[in-house]
Amino acid sequence: MQDTLLKERNFEEAIENFLITKGGYEKGNPEHLNRATALDEDTFLRFIKNT
């Protein structure tokens, strides 16, 4: 089971790295997440204003 967890974690990190470095995404801060709306509201509003 441990090997599976390590492989999945590596896979998740690879996806995150790709999205941040080549996909135009930025890494969010979990502390900024509003769990009631499931949004980082500041990032969301910045996106709306810029588009």
Q: Which residues contact 39 (CB under 8 A, 6 or more apart)?
A: 33
pTM, rounded to two decimals: 0.62
Q: What is the pLDDT of residues 16-28, one digit of tens each?
A: 999 999 999 989 9
Total structural domains within the chain: 1
Q: What is the pLDDT of residues 1-51, one digit of tens each?
A: 567 667 899 999 999 999 999 999 989 999 999 999 999 999 999 999 999
Is residue 33 within 8 A of residue 39, CB to CB? The reply is: yes
Task: Write out the residue range of the structural domain in which residue 24 sits.
Answer: 2-50
26 φ, ψ (degrees, to nearest 5): -125, 145
